[in-house]
Chains A and B, each alone.
Chain A
Amino acid sequence: MSANTDFTLAIEELTVSFDGFKAVNDLNLYVDKNELHVVIGPNGAGKTTVLDLICGKTKATSGSIKFLNKELTTMPEHKIVRAGVGRKFQTPSIYENLSVFENLEVSYPYGRSVLGSLLFKRTEKVERKIIKIAQDIMLEDSLDMPAGLLSHGQKQWLEIGMLLIQDPQLLMLDEPVAGMSVKEREQTAELLNKISKGRSVLVIEHDMDFVERIADKVTVLHQGKILAAGDMKKVQNDPKVIEVYLGH
C-alpha cells in the first residue's frame, strides 16, 4: 500500500476491468486540499467510472484510493459517505415525493441508524441548518414544495444542497450543469466557487466555458488513462488534448 500523503484524495495505480475491458487503466490522480479539480474527456473516457470507484459503487480491480489517508476501496458505500465523501449523480437524484425541506432533512447527517432515524427530532438546530443550505442553493422559497415539481436546474441544486448539508470534505459532482440554462450555469458556477471553500471538489464536466470559470486544476481522461493534467491554459494548449477532445 502506498504511503500517507497530504492530499485529500490520492488515487494510485487504479484499474477496473469489466470482462477484460479496462474502463480505468492504471490511473493516478491527486486532489489537493481546497482544490476544485475538474475531470474532462470524451465520452467513454471513464470519468463517471472514476467517481463510481471513489464512492464505492463500483469495486476496483486493483490499485488504491485514499481519502485523507483512509483506504476507500474496501469500505462499503455508506461508510465512505460517513467518512466525508459526497457524490452527486449525473441525472438529478432527489426524492420526488418528499418536499424540498424533507429532502434536506433526510440528508442531514444525524440519525443514520434505524433507531436514530426513528428517534430523530426536528430541532431548531436542524431547521436552521436546512434553511441556511436552502439559501445557499437558492431554494429557500420552495422549502414546502414537493421536489418533483422543481425545474431541472433546481433539482440539480437541491441534490448539491443534500450533499452540502453533510458537510463533506470531498464533494464529487457529475456534470452539474448538464441541461441548465445559461443563467442557471452562471448561478451554479457562483455556487461552486462559494462551496468549494474549505473543502475539495471533484467535478466532471463537458462545458468548457464552465470549466474555465471554476477549475483550479484540470485532468483530461482518455480511454481510462490521463492524457494531460494541469491548469486550464496548459491543458487547452496541449496538442494531444486538442486532437482527441477539444477539436482543431
Chain B
Amino acid sequence: MNYFYEKVMGGKSGLTGFIILAVVILVAFPLFLDIFRLNLVGKYLTYAFPAVSLVLLWGYGGILSLGQGVFFGLGGYAMAMFLKLEASSPENTAIQSTPGIPDFMDWNQLTELPWFWVPFESFTFTLLAVIIVPAIFAYIIGAAMFKRRVGGVYFAIITQVIAVILTVLIVGQQGYIGGINGITDLRTLHGWDITTDNAKVIFYYICCLLLLSIVIVGRLILTSKFGSLLLAMRDKEDRVRFSGYDVSHFKIFIFCVASIFSAIGGALFTLQVGFMSPSFVGIVPSIEMVIFCAVGGRMSLIGAIYGALLINFGKTAFSETFPQLWLFLMGGLFIAVVMFFPNGLAGIWNTYGHYITDRLKQLKTVFVMKPSPQEAKQDLG
C-alpha cells in the first residue's frame, strides 16, 4: 500500500492532483453540465488519451510523434467497424441491393463483406483489435525507425507522412472503409442503443475511468527504472547505449504504449460521438494532440488532460463566435507556450501554484478555529 502511495500516486502532491482531477471529471462535470455538454466533454477527454501518450513519448522520451492521430484513428475505426456491422443487419439494410453489408459498400457496388471486416463481427475481437492493431503498427514503424537510429525531426516528419498516407488510403478506399465521410450511422452495441442519454452518461464514465487508469499506468512506467531511462535517453542517448542498453527496444516499447493509449481514446471517441472519419486521423488532429500536450505540460500526465480540456473548451467557445480567428489563436497559443512556458500549464502551476496553496493555508487557519476541548468531546460523543 505504501509502495502504491509513493510510487504510483507520487506521494502527497501527486495524489492530491489525481484526486482533484478525478473529482472534476467524475463529479463536477456530470453535476453541472447538461447531457449535451457532458457528451462534449467526453469527446474532449478522448483527445486527452493521445495527449497523455505524448507526455510519455515526447515529454519524457524526447520522441516527437506528429502521427498520434494514426493510432487514435486505428482504435476509432476498429470500434466503428464493429458498430457498423451491427447497424447493417439484413433487416436494417433490406432496401440495399446486397442486404447485410454496410451501406457505403453497397453504394460502391461491393456485393460481399471484405475479409478484413469479418472478424469485427465479434466484440471481443474488436476490443482486442483496438489495442493490438495499433501496437503492431507502432511496432513495425518503431522497429523500422529506431533500429536505424532515425530520431528527432526526421522521426517527426515520418510520423506525419504516415498520418497523410493513412488519410489518403481511407479517403481513396470508399468501398472498403467508408472514404471521406467515414463510418457513420452507428446505432447499437449488442442491441443496446448507444445514442440515448443513458448510454452517453455510461460511456462518459467509462471514458473517465479508463483515462484515470492510463494515468496510473503512465505513472507506473515513469516511476520505474524505465522512466529514468527515458529521461536519460532524451539527455544523452549515447551514454545509455554505452551503458549496455539496446536503446531501440526502449523507444519501440514506449512508442507502442503511446499508440495503445491513443487507440483507446479513439475507440471511446467512436462510442461517444457515434462516428469515425479520416478528419480525426490526419495531420491537423495529430498536431492538435501535440498542442494539447504542450499547453497542458509535456512533463505532466495530469497537465496534458487539462490541456486537452482547455484547448477544446476554447475551440468550441471561440469557433462558435470567431470561426476564422480560432486557428490563428491556437497557433499563437502554441508558440507562446513553447517560447515562454516550455512546461505548459503544469509548469506554471509548479512555479507559481504555491502562491495559491499558501493563501489557502492562511485562509484555513483563519476559518478553521481549533475547537475547545468541550466541543471536541461533544463531537466525539
Q: Are A and B subunits of one complex?
A: yes
A97's partner among B235, B245, B249 (CB-CB below 8 A) is B235
Which residues of B sit under 8 angstroms from A86, Cβ to Cβ?
Answer: 242
Interface check B335, CB cutoff 8 A: no
Judge if A223 is at the interface, Cβ distance under 8 Å.
no
Secondary structure dominating the interface of B: helix
Q: Are B225 and A97 in contact (CB under 8 A)?
A: no
CB-contact partner of B225 in A55, A117, A162, under 8 A:
A117
Bound CA–CA A111/B232 (angstroms):
15
Nearest CB on B from A106, distance (A): 5
User: Contact at B243–A166, with CB atoms within 8 Å?
Assistant: yes
A192 contacts partner chain B, Cβ-Cβ < 8 Å? no
> Does B226 lie within 8 Å of A93, measured CB to CB?
no
A55's closest neighbor in chain B, by CB? B242
Chain B residues within an 8 Å CB radius of A118 = 220-221, 224-226
Chain B residues with Cβ under 8 A from A111's Cβ?
Answer: 225
Please tell me which stretch of A10-18, A64-72, A74-82 contacts chain B, meaning at least 4 of its Cβ atoms lie within 8 angstroms of it. Answer: A74-82
Chain A min CB distance to B211 (Å): 22
List residues 223-264 of chain B with CB under 8 A from any CB of chain A: 224-226, 228-229, 231-232, 234-236, 238-247, 249-250, 253
Contacts of B247 in A (CB 8 A): 78
Count, chain B residues at interface, CB 8 A? 25
CB-based contact A105/B235 at 8 Å: no
How many contacting A-B pairs (Cβ < 8 A)? 80
A98-B232, A106-B229 known; A114 vs B238 contact (CB < 8 Å)? no
Which residues from A are CB-within-8-Å of B236? 93-95
Interface residue tally of chain A, by bracket?
A: 20 to 34
CA distance in complex: A72, B232 (Å): 26
C-alpha spacing A77/B245, complex, angstroms: 9
Q: Are A106 and B232 in contact (CB under 8 A)?
A: yes
B239 and A112 contacting across the interface, CB-CB below 8 Å? no
Asked, given contacts A77-B241, A81-B244, whether A98 binds B226 with beta carbons under 8 Å apart, the answer is no
* Interfacial chain B residues near A103, Cβ < 8 Å: 232
Closest CB of chain A to B227's CB: distance in Å?
9
- CA A118 – CA B253 in complex, angstroms? 11
| 0/1 interface trace, chain B 294-309, chain A, CB 8 Å (1 if under) | 0000000000000000
Q: Kindly report which residue of chain B lies nearest to residue A159, judged by CB atoms.
A: B239
Tell me whether A210 is interfacial, beta carbon within 8 Å. no
On whether the beta carbons of B225 and A106 are closer than 8 Å, the reply is yes
Q: Which listed residue (A97, A114, A162) contacts B243, Cβ 8 A?
A: A162
- Of B220, B226, B239, B241, the contact of A114 (CB 8 Å cutoff): B226
In the A-B complex, list the 8 residue pairs whose CB atoms are closest, starting with the nearest: A81-B244, A120-B225, A93-B239, A117-B226, A95-B232, A117-B225, A95-B235, A114-B253
- Write the residues of chain B forming the contact surface with A, with a CB cutoff of 8 angstroms: 220-221, 224-226, 228-229, 231-232, 234-236, 238-247, 249-250, 253
